[in-house]
Chains A and B, each alone.
Chain A
């Protein structure tokens, strides 16, 4: 029974309390949410070509990275393209093509080696192994590899027999593949269909009986049905929940900030002020723009803060208020100007410039906290179809970073100016963005990272990038 009275110190950047001496007890770097994975996890895709494996791999990776779980995709097709000179035809994939088989297996092994390196040297937590993995033999190789190295495995199998979905898939992502550069459309489709046939011959789906000790999810026909077997831990549970909420129905997501507010005008951050006259004009303009878009069944979401609600009121349609969409809490710096923050808390101001993503305001939040807070919003955005989100600068940056796969370093500096609507359209493996400025002037609230981020810098150096205000 130890007599320890450990002293705690508060890490100045994230405001996390940690023991002064290195304590064996507090193992992890502080963050808003406990990190739940102990051993690295390999997610292994299974399925015939054109079943959405790469789509799922990329989307899942994007989601996991956004919530703070370092994840990387290993697309074996990419390794194959790097290994072979150029793709000639489906004949490469014929099951009796010995030469090609050797190359393909070597590519898979190379990818597995890189997975290992990712976990060991790059502190990765999840690796998504994106390939067809349609034979028992191939899956065995992967399972042995994982067992040797102490990695958990979770299979994601996508099954689809709807010819329309497959055709659409081929159109969206195969025609533009490097394999078919310079090919006529019909030729490409014909070749690809023959490629699928090559795999069908040897395809063995995950079996409910034989594979009952494996952890996996089977997705049928783009999500109308799921079979989930032996979820082992927290991260697999989150992955399953995410996969069950995403869909491929075409839709639009509109992101915008509230109209210019009274506090925006005077360069003050946070608070709960109302719209300025120009902000009100924006609210009307937004209504006009939305009506012109003729969107089917549009949902409108706001935060609980007056300025977003006033903006939504201008639309004349029902809206839902989410507390989770509230602006980042600046704690003791609420309603201050940057000049005042520099004046009262120069050290805090510098720390923020050093690591804007992890920096937590005293008695406030960090961007990292914001992401955790916004996760249910993202989950519901995935479930929904056409949505307009009226929110705030930091919040919009976080949401945008999710859709555009921006890193934690880039996120806090994404440009989200007032009176500008971003229209996001999911397309192929990513998101198309259109930026629409509604032609009503507003102050600029974007503060770039200054050159000098040292704690002992001069005030002028700190305030160099502060945008103009009254």
Chain B
């Protein structure tokens, strides 16, 4: 739309209705929500984006691809990675040696090219048909010719392209890389360390001669980031839009220095004991016990330069005080705001707001408490915390159940469906250690009893749900025909209405 002159003259604003699940106001007609362009969150990009990695083997391309994909999915941008090496493994069942990658191996070149094209096809499927927003094309892409093919493919399909090149000449980093992720690769099952290293180094050599790094002059019209020496230096060129800007910011904040992240909740609180949610109560007797045990645990762990973060709620601060290490308070780490349900017990919520209670069980991730928040809101609120966690090294985060679930989902790549049901019991510390492409988790229960605050996903009662929907929607003045439609849906075709 170029000018607002073409716009129809709105005589009076459309009626608004509030979506009962997410509490979002949307225009409606005849009591039914209208298909509307208004989005509930910032527009990341108008067209899909293809991120293309570039670099010799063992430069961290797959590490970056997976991490970036995990981050983008967590903040709500549907993203998927396409690892061409994986396609090659499916095509060539057994990897024999580096000879496959020799630049004069015609057979090998044909297969590799075919794999790249197959992967691009799947990218097209994901971005154009499955409504993904970002695809990460993870391969060496070291020649200008290959990159040209990809750029043309993207142009034809209306995708934006953003290159992520990793350049590194530090032999120690490369060696460590090989140890961390190549030794365990399917290519090298039944090989000993020396054999792997030797073969892999020869593999890298095969690429070196034809490697054409992104060039400041020749590639000045491309959008890219060049990461040098594992993040010591970056060259950023022609960032086009919001999502690319966020990607650059993220890539510039991550590091690979070994460290551990400790996540735990505050000690058991007085509200916990009474079964009340939210509020700002202090620690119970057992909660204080836990705080003391936490101090002992932290001391025993002997952590270098530990940073401790809490929320601004009394119970996390009381816990941190006992740990006897300087701590920082983050408002962003406060527990999810339960709005009108604050300080209620689940039974009271069921009593006062039965329809809300049911809606929450239907889609716990997107459900927003009236005058409160949703898990989805929480993730947005926690993004700066995650960004700073990426920058930091050893950190202990003392937070709350819903908050801890969100943070954990980020580190363990859990979906929006799983996130609200992750088990984060009181008095249990989770120690996360980044390893290879993921995160090792150790769960340490500090041996102080506490109430269980975990509520599982209830068995889905379809009859009850139909009654709930009928009640809910008729109370928002939807037409009778619509609710009639819902009630007469055959059980086989039943799909919960998704906004």
Query: Using a CB–CB distance below 8 Å, which chain A residues touch chain B?
Result: 1-2, 4-6, 8, 10, 15-17, 19, 23-28, 30, 32-34, 36, 208, 212, 224-231, 234, 237, 240-241, 244-245, 272, 274-275, 280, 283-284, 287, 290-291, 294-298, 304-306, 309-323, 334, 363, 369, 372, 376, 380, 383
Residue of B nearest to A272 (CB): B371
Asked if B391 and A237 make an inter-chain contact with CB atoms under 8 angstroms apart, the answer reads yes
Q: Determine if B481 is an interface residue (Cβ-Cβ < 8 Å).
A: no
Q: Which of B50-58, B137-145, B166-174, B316-324 contacts A (4 or more CB under 8 A)?
A: B316-324
Q: Determine if B380 is an interface residue (Cβ-Cβ < 8 Å).
A: yes
Q: Determine if B9 is an interface residue (Cβ-Cβ < 8 Å).
A: yes
Question: What are the residues of chain A within 8 A of B371 when measuring CB–CB?
Answer: 272, 334
Q: Determine if B295 is an interface residue (Cβ-Cβ < 8 Å).
A: yes
Q: How far is the CA of A17 from the CA of B331 in the complex (A)?
A: 11
Q: How far is the CA of A16 from the CA of B310 in the complex (A)?
A: 12
Q: A294-B5, A297-B2, A313-B10 are in contact. Are A320 and B25 (CB under 8 A)?
A: no
Asked if B252 and A240 make an inter-chain contact with CB atoms under 8 angstroms apart, the answer reads yes
Question: What are the residues of chain B within 8 A of A372 when measuring CB–CB?
Answer: 331-332
Residue of A nearest to B282 (CB): A8
Asked if B233 and A227 make an inter-chain contact with CB atoms under 8 angstroms apart, the answer reads yes
Asked if B13 and A310 make an inter-chain contact with CB atoms under 8 angstroms apart, the answer reads yes
Asked if B13 and A280 make an inter-chain contact with CB atoms under 8 angstroms apart, the answer reads yes
Asked if A318 and B13 make an inter-chain contact with CB atoms under 8 angstroms apart, the answer reads no
Q: Determine if B93 is an interface residue (Cβ-Cβ < 8 Å).
A: no
Q: CB-CB contacts of B4-17 with A at 8 A, as 1s and 0s?
A: 11011110111010
Asked if A33 and B332 make an inter-chain contact with CB atoms under 8 angstroms apart, the answer reads yes
Asked if A316 and B8 make an inter-chain contact with CB atoms under 8 angstroms apart, the answer reads yes
Asked if B1 and A317 make an inter-chain contact with CB atoms under 8 angstroms apart, the answer reads yes
Asked if A16 and B312 make an inter-chain contact with CB atoms under 8 angstroms apart, the answer reads yes
Asked if B327 and A306 make an inter-chain contact with CB atoms under 8 angstroms apart, the answer reads no
Q: Which of B212-246 touch A at CB < 8 Å?
A: 216, 220, 232-239, 242, 245
Q: Determine if B489 is an interface residue (Cβ-Cβ < 8 Å).
A: no
Q: Which of B364-383 touch A at CB < 8 Å?
A: 371, 377, 380
Tell which of B9, B235, B317, B325 touches A226, judged by Cβ atoms closer than 8 Å. Answer: B235
Asked if B5 and A291 make an inter-chain contact with CB atoms under 8 angstroms apart, the answer reads yes
Asked if A320 and B43 make an inter-chain contact with CB atoms under 8 angstroms apart, the answer reads yes
B161 CB, min distance to chain A CBs, angstroms? 16
Asked if B326 and A27 make an inter-chain contact with CB atoms under 8 angstroms apart, the answer reads yes
Asked if B16 and A244 make an inter-chain contact with CB atoms under 8 angstroms apart, the answer reads no
Asked if A321 and B331 make an inter-chain contact with CB atoms under 8 angstroms apart, the answer reads no
Question: What are the residues of chain B within 8 A of A297 when measuring CB–CB?
Answer: 1-2
Q: Given contacts A30-B329, A229-B232, could you give 4 more A-B pairs where the C-beta distance is less than 8 Å? A: A4-B321, A8-B314, A320-B42, A363-B342
Question: What are the residues of chain A within 8 A of B242 when measuring CB–CB?
Answer: 380, 383
Q: Determine if B346 is an interface residue (Cβ-Cβ < 8 Å).
A: no
Question: What are the residues of chain A within 8 A of B216 when measuring CB–CB?
Answer: 225
Q: Provide a sorted-by-A list of 25 A–B residue pairs whose CB atoms are within 8 angstroms.
A: A6-B318, A8-B321, A17-B314, A26-B327, A34-B330, A224-B220, A225-B236, A226-B236, A229-B233, A230-B232, A240-B252, A241-B249, A280-B12, A304-B40, A306-B18, A310-B16, A313-B16, A313-B27, A314-B12, A317-B4, A318-B38, A321-B41, A323-B380, A372-B331, A380-B242
Q: How far is the CA of A15 from the CA of B314 in the complex (A)?
A: 10
Q: Determine if B309 is an interface residue (Cβ-Cβ < 8 Å).
A: yes
Q: Determine if B498 is an interface residue (Cβ-Cβ < 8 Å).
A: no
A141 CB, min distance to chain B CBs, angstroms? 25
Question: What are the residues of chain B within 8 A of A284 when measuring CB–CB?
Answer: 10, 12
Asked if B391 and A306 make an inter-chain contact with CB atoms under 8 angstroms apart, the answer reads no
Q: Which of B18-43 touch A at CB < 8 Å?
A: 18, 23-25, 27, 37-43
Question: What are the residues of chain B within 8 A of A30 when measuring CB–CB?
Answer: 312, 329
Residue of A nearest to B310 (CB): A17
Asked if B328 and A383 make an inter-chain contact with CB atoms under 8 angstroms apart, the answer reads no
Asked if B234 and A227 make an inter-chain contact with CB atoms under 8 angstroms apart, the answer reads yes
Tell which of B7, B25, B236 touches A304, judged by Cβ atoms closer than 8 Å. Answer: B25
B310 CB, min distance to chain A CBs, angstroms? 9
Query: Using a CB–CB distance below 8 Å, which chain B residues touch chain A?
Result: 1-5, 7-10, 12-14, 16, 18, 23-25, 27, 37-43, 216, 220, 232-239, 242, 245, 248-249, 252-253, 280, 282, 288, 292, 295-296, 299, 309, 312-314, 317-318, 320-322, 324-332, 342, 371, 377, 380, 384, 388, 391
Asked if A321 and B38 make an inter-chain contact with CB atoms under 8 angstroms apart, the answer reads yes
Asked if B237 and A321 make an inter-chain contact with CB atoms under 8 angstroms apart, the answer reads no
Question: What are the residues of chain A within 8 A of B388 when measuring CB–CB?
Answer: 36, 234
A214 CB, min distance to chain B CBs, angstroms? 11
Asked if A224 and B43 make an inter-chain contact with CB atoms under 8 angstroms apart, the answer reads no
Residue of A nearest to B376 (CB): A323
Question: What are the residues of chain B within 8 A of A2 when measuring CB–CB?
Answer: 324
Asked if A309 and B10 make an inter-chain contact with CB atoms under 8 angstroms apart, the answer reads no
Asked if A237 and B252 make an inter-chain contact with CB atoms under 8 angstroms apart, the answer reads yes
Question: What are the residues of chain B within 8 A of A28 when measuring CB–CB?
Answer: 328
Asked if A17 and B245 make an inter-chain contact with CB atoms under 8 angstroms apart, the answer reads no
Asked if A313 and B13 make an inter-chain contact with CB atoms under 8 angstroms apart, the answer reads yes
Question: What are the residues of chain B within 8 A of A16 when measuring CB–CB?
Answer: 312, 329
Question: What are the residues of chain B within 8 A of A283 when measuring CB–CB?
Answer: 13
Q: A244-B245, A291-B7 are in contact. Are A309 and B238 (CB under 8 A)?
A: no
Question: What are the residues of chain A within 8 A of B325 when measuring CB–CB?
Answer: 25
Q: How far is the CA of A36 from the CA of B314 in the complex (A)?
A: 22
Q: How far is the CA of A289 from the CA of B7 in the complex (A)?
A: 13
Asked if A369 and B10 make an inter-chain contact with CB atoms under 8 angstroms apart, the answer reads no
Across the A-B interface, the 7 shortest Cβ-Cβ residue pairs = A34-B328, A313-B13, A316-B10, A32-B331, A318-B37, A228-B234, A226-B236
Q: How far is the CA of A245 from the CA of B384 in the complex (A)?
A: 17
Q: How far is the CA of A33 from the CA of B387 in the complex (A)?
A: 13
Asked if A323 and B377 make an inter-chain contact with CB atoms under 8 angstroms apart, the answer reads yes
Residue of A nearest to B280 (CB): A363
Tell which of A34, A234, A319 touches B309, judged by Cβ atoms closer than 8 Å. Answer: A34
Question: What are the residues of chain B within 8 A of A5 when measuring CB–CB?
Answer: 288, 322
Q: How far is the CA of A252 from the CA of B41 in the complex (A)?
A: 22
Question: What are the residues of chain B within 8 A of A296 when measuring CB–CB?
Answer: 2-3
Q: How far is the CA of A142 from the CA of B329 in the complex (A)?
A: 35
Q: How far is the CA of A25 from the CA of B239 in the complex (A)?
A: 42
Q: How far is the CA of A16 from the CA of B330 in the complex (A)?
A: 11
Q: How far is the CA of A312 from the CA of B377 in the complex (A)?
A: 22
Question: What are the residues of chain A within 8 A of B391 when measuring CB–CB?
Answer: 234, 237
Question: What are the residues of chain B within 8 A of A6 when measuring CB–CB?
Answer: 318, 321-322
Question: What are the residues of chain A within 8 A of B41 when measuring CB–CB?
Answer: 320-323
Q: How far is the CA of A262 from the CA of B239 in the complex (A)?
A: 44
B390 CB, min distance to chain A CBs, angstroms? 10
Residue of B nearest to A9 (CB): B314
Asked if A224 and B237 make an inter-chain contact with CB atoms under 8 angstroms apart, the answer reads yes
Question: What are the residues of chain A within 8 A of B1 when measuring CB–CB?
Answer: 297, 317-318
Asked if A244 and B236 make an inter-chain contact with CB atoms under 8 angstroms apart, the answer reads yes
Tell which of A228, A245, A309 touches B25, judged by Cβ atoms closer than 8 Å. Answer: A309
Q: A32-B332, A304-B25 are in contact. Are A320 and B326 (CB under 8 A)?
A: no
Q: How far is the CA of A295 from the CA of B2 in the complex (A)?
A: 8
Question: What are the residues of chain B within 8 A of A10 when measuring CB–CB?
Answer: 314
Asked if B235 and A4 make an inter-chain contact with CB atoms under 8 angstroms apart, the answer reads no
Q: How far is the CA of A219 from the CA of B67 in the complex (A)?
A: 28
B440 CB, min distance to chain A CBs, angstroms? 26
Q: A2-B324, A306-B16 are in contact. Are A320 and B332 (CB under 8 A)?
A: no
Asked if B322 and A4 make an inter-chain contact with CB atoms under 8 angstroms apart, the answer reads yes
Asked if B234 and A1 make an inter-chain contact with CB atoms under 8 angstroms apart, the answer reads no
Q: How far is the CA of A230 from the CA of B326 in the complex (A)?
A: 27
Q: How far is the CA of A322 from the CA of B43 in the complex (A)?
A: 10
